[in-house]
């Protein structure tokens, strides 16, 4: 499984009983649908949990190939907070510190 903005690529492969995540990636490498995807350097997972290439697979496991993030989630959150602060005017008036 590889998710792209324009749609996901999902394939099912028949692999031997002792297959690993790496074996599934080798099968995907031979599939024209995965041309141009960095199967060697991309992080991978099984059902949303990070996995290493030597990890054994069980029948029905979904191997996921992760693409790089377009923007770091922390940086995106900081930008949203700054944007919200810029739109919201701060109230004028006495300080709320309790001092007069």
Quick: pLDDT tens for 63-91: 999 987 777 888 888 888 888 888 877 66
Answer yes or no: are the C-beta atoms of 53 and 21 closer than 8 Å: yes
For residue 4, is pLDDT > 60? yes
CB count in 10 Å sphere of residue 73: 8
Q: Strand, helix or coil at 30?
A: coil
Q: 97 or 84, which is more confident?
A: 84
Q: What pLDDT score does 52 carry?
A: 95
Helices (H) and strands (E) in the chain, counts: 2, 5
For residue 97, is pLDDT > 90? no
């Amino acid at each position: 499984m590889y998710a792209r903005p324009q749609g996901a690529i999902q394939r099912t492969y028949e692999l031997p009983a002792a297959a690993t995540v790496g074996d599934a990636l080798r099968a995907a490498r031979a599939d024209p649908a995965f041309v141009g995807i960095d199967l060697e350097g991309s992080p991978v997972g099984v059902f949303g949990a990070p996995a290493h290439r030597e990890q054994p697979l069980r029948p029905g496991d979904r191997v996921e190939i992760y693409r790089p993030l377009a923007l770091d989630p922390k940086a995106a959150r900081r930008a949203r907070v700054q944007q919200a602060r810029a739109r919201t005017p701060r109230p004028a008036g006495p300080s709320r510190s309790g001092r007069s």
